[in-house]
Chain A
Amino acid sequence: MLAEAEQLARGAEEPRRAELVIGLHGGADVGEAVRTGHRIGRQLGTAYPDRSAVVLLLSQAAPDPAALAAPDPREPPARVPLLPWSRPGQTSLEALLRATETFDAAACALVTADAGHGGTELVAPILADGFDFVCPCYGTHRFENVVTTGIVYPLTRALFGKRLREPIGKELAISRRLAAHLLGEGWHADPAHAGDRLWLVTAVLSREFQVCQSYLGGRPPRAAEPAADLAASLAHVLGLLFHEMRLHAAAWQRVKGSQPLKTYGEPALPDGDPGQPQIGPMLSAFQLGYQELGRLWGAVLPPQTLLALKRLTRVPEESFCVDDALWARIVYDFAVGYHLAVMDRALLLRLITPLYLGWAAGFAREVRETDPAGVEARIERLCRAFEVAKPYLISRWRWPDRFNP
């Protein structure tokens, strides 16, 4: 078995054909990644017995070939090989796209090393129904993934008119047609950010590619972020999003409303109690932000919005809530501020953190006692507000000096 793995590892550089390419990435534990790789290989072999497939262990450095051997030597050798695939300097996504080209594959998927699924849920819509991009969805508690809920999902939905529930994530599946576009035209359009997840999503949504989403079960639990890390993460995500907005401005200004996407699988709620997050500290962060950063916010937000924020600082915790329309306009104003570079862009992106915490406090208070259906209805209302406010964004984007309420 070991000799076979070594042979495969050596032969991995050679171009070969495989209809399906699954790239495994993330996770510090190589053993876990290898176990997941073998499991995915067995499931692919069972689900697609007449198709050739390969599972790649994506990494920056070449792993020990001995580590790639199947954990249980009594098991029959896998029909789908697990190959080390180290490409220094390339992101996981880029390595996967280039591997798809090398193997001349019909579909490829990026799967995390700690994934609980078999990868077939991701590639099936491409092979069976001809989709180009499959985006995973996870069953999440109401207090998880709040940045996506409050900004990324409503914003991408309003911009591109497609209801892609989780635009940022670590897993996906791509057709050969889309991979060829991304490595060609898509790559040259934005080489600085090529290979990033939001680059891919906006490149897909701004074109006429067939997009769907697939439920993959629960999301693995993660630790809470310290406040400073939140500011950096938020700035990173928003920076990419606003940058891609500038790039695809001609495409999203033509879009009105939004359409649901075909969704495979059923949402599965994660186990356990989501707990009751503390609203007080987030509210204090918002009030401190208004007190100290109000003057700087004035460079980005119009007076009407500043007035509404001033009123909000006096609202007690029990009834605190940032109005959906106000929040949509704040996000749009920051996008316009980034576009016009009204101040250093890195600083501008960090200015939004207290505002986001204020919105998150209101959202957490509102959905505290709500059932999952109620939470979804609340998110839907928020997304509608973003869609309704889109003409405001277009006006400010096109005529920033003339249209300044």
Chain B
Amino acid sequence: MWGDVEQAFTNGLHQVALAVAAFLPGILTMLLVLAFTVALAFLVRFALRRSLAGIDFDRRVHRWGLTSTGEWTPRNAPTAIAAHAGFWFVLLVGFLAGLDSLNTRVTDALAQRTLEWLPNLLGGAAIFAVGIVVARFLERTSLISAVNMQIQSARVISLGVKWLTVLFATALALQHVHVGGSILTVSFAVVFGGIVLALALAVGLGSREAVSRSWERQWHDEKAAAEEGRELHHM
């Protein structure tokens, strides 16, 4: 009896030892991959920092209107952010490759699903980033144009343009990564359409008289100023 139990335990231990022995190369490979990935990530971060500094990336990003210089510290300068993003991206890909080397069903499936989803995620991030750049550019353009037209609510107009563009870019990015599905599209249509309708109603009905009075006054002022020679001839 005792011999049978001992035999069973021995067999069990043997199987566990075999399983661990079969699993160990995978773990070793994973550790090797991770070590290599960490080294590669540091290398990528260093290379990104050097090359982006070489092309004066911070100034270019500022010129594109993505940030303003006053918001920068060494830690959140565009070059540092891009270098960190590159570092963590390489680490993530390396970690997934390491998981794949374990050769188990769960890790294989996890790695495969994540790697399949990664291009969509990158595409969504790119759409969002472009949306932010466009939003900042449109914000500046509309602000400057409105100020040059001497519209008192220039700031409100520019913020409206910015956030509508950000909203649009966010909806596009989420749609691209398949988050939210049709609910997102419907919600966006409702919110966007609602804002446009509200603005149309506000200008068309609520402010109709005020707008017409303002235009009339401006037209009369310009006409009277031109007639009386009260305008400078700039050009």
Interface flags for B52-65 (1: CB within 8 Å of A; 0: not) read: 00000001001111
- Tell me which of A224, A227, A276, A350 contacts B144 (CB under 8 A): A350
Chain A minimum-CB-distance residue to B235: A233
- A274 and B231 alpha carbons, distance in the complex (Å): 10
A293 part of interface (Cβ distance < 8 Å): yes
A343 part of interface (Cβ distance < 8 Å): yes
Stretch at the interface among B150-158, B175-183, B199-207: B150-158
The reply to whether A147 and B235 contact each other, CB–CB distance below 8 Å, is yes
Q: Do most interface residues of chain A lie in helix, strand or loop, or is the interface mixed?
A: helix
| CB neighbours of A285 from chain B (8 A) | 147-148, 150
- A225 and B65 alpha carbons, distance in the complex (Å): 30
Which residues 306-354 in A have Cβ within 8 Å of B in the complex? 341-344, 347, 350-351, 353-354
Q: Do most interface residues of chain B lie in helix, strand or loop, or is the interface mixed?
A: helix
| CB neighbours of A30 from chain B (8 A) | none
A222 part of interface (Cβ distance < 8 Å): yes
The reply to whether A143 and B233 contact each other, CB–CB distance below 8 Å, is yes
Given A342-B63, A344-B63, check contact A354 B230 (CB 8 Å): no
A273 part of interface (Cβ distance < 8 Å): yes
- A112 and B135 alpha carbons, distance in the complex (Å): 45
Chain B minimum-CB-distance residue to A354: B147
| CB neighbours of A295 from chain B (8 A) | 68, 70
| CB neighbours of B233 from chain A (8 A) | 141, 143-146, 222, 224-225
Q: In angstroms, how far is the closest chain B Cβ from the Cβ of A34? A: 28
- Tell me which of B59, B137, B228, B232 contacts A344 (CB under 8 A): B137
- A222 and B147 alpha carbons, distance in the complex (Å): 25
| CB neighbours of B228 from chain A (8 A) | 275
- A178 and B24 alpha carbons, distance in the complex (Å): 85
A288 part of interface (Cβ distance < 8 Å): yes
Chain A minimum-CB-distance residue to B59: A342
- A145 and B233 alpha carbons, distance in the complex (Å): 6
Which residues 144-174 in B have Cβ within 8 Å of A in the complex? 144-150, 152, 154-155
The reply to whether A146 and B140 contact each other, CB–CB distance below 8 Å, is no
A299 part of interface (Cβ distance < 8 Å): yes
B143 part of interface (Cβ distance < 8 Å): yes
| CB neighbours of A145 from chain B (8 A) | 233-235
Of the listed residues B149, B228, B234, the one surrounded by the most CB atoms of chain A closer than 10 A to its CB is: B234
Given A292-B143, A343-B62, A364-B232, check contact A298 B70 (CB 8 Å): yes
| CB neighbours of A226 from chain B (8 A) | 222
The reply to whether B62 and A350 contact each other, CB–CB distance below 8 Å, is no
| CB neighbours of B234 from chain A (8 A) | 145-147, 225, 230, 233-234, 360
Chain B minimum-CB-distance residue to A168: B235
A255 part of interface (Cβ distance < 8 Å): no
The reply to whether B147 and A288 contact each other, CB–CB distance below 8 Å, is yes
Size of chain A's interface in residues, with CB distance under 8 A?
47
- A224 and B232 alpha carbons, distance in the complex (Å): 7
Chain B minimum-CB-distance residue to A296: B140
B141 part of interface (Cβ distance < 8 Å): yes
The reply to whether A281 and B150 contact each other, CB–CB distance below 8 Å, is yes
Chain A minimum-CB-distance residue to B152: A288
The reply to whether A277 and B231 contact each other, CB–CB distance below 8 Å, is yes
- A219 and B20 alpha carbons, distance in the complex (Å): 97
| CB neighbours of A141 from chain B (8 A) | 233
| CB neighbours of B232 from chain A (8 A) | 143-144, 146, 224, 277, 282, 360, 364
Q: In angstroms, how far is the closest chain A Cβ from the Cβ of B71? A: 11
Q: In angstroms, how far is the closest chain A Cβ from the Cβ of B145? A: 7
Given A230-B234, A277-B232, A351-B144, check contact A224 B225 (CB 8 Å): yes
B74 part of interface (Cβ distance < 8 Å): no
Which residues 195-221 in B have Cβ within 8 Å of A in the complex? none
| CB neighbours of A230 from chain B (8 A) | 148, 234-235
- Tell me which of B62, B154, B225, B226 contacts A299 (CB under 8 A): B62
The reply to whether A276 and B230 contact each other, CB–CB distance below 8 Å, is yes
- A59 and B136 alpha carbons, distance in the complex (Å): 43
Of the listed residues B64, B137, B146, B233, the one surrounded by the most CB atoms of chain A closer than 10 A to its CB is: B233
What are 24 of the A-B contact pairs (CB < 8 Å)?
Answer: A144-B232, A224-B225, A224-B226, A224-B231, A227-B150, A228-B148, A274-B229, A277-B230, A278-B230, A288-B154, A289-B147, A292-B155, A293-B144, A295-B68, A296-B144, A299-B69, A342-B59, A343-B63, A343-B65, A343-B140, A344-B64, A347-B65, A360-B232, A364-B232
Known: A224-B225, A277-B230. 14 other contacts (CB 8 A): A143-B233, A224-B232, A225-B235, A227-B149, A227-B150, A230-B234, A231-B148, A288-B147, A292-B154, A293-B144, A296-B143, A299-B69, A343-B65, A360-B232
Which 10 A-B pairs rank lowest in CB-CB distance, beginning with the nearest?
A: A275-B229, A224-B231, A231-B148, A144-B233, A353-B148, A278-B230, A277-B232, A350-B144, A146-B234, A143-B232
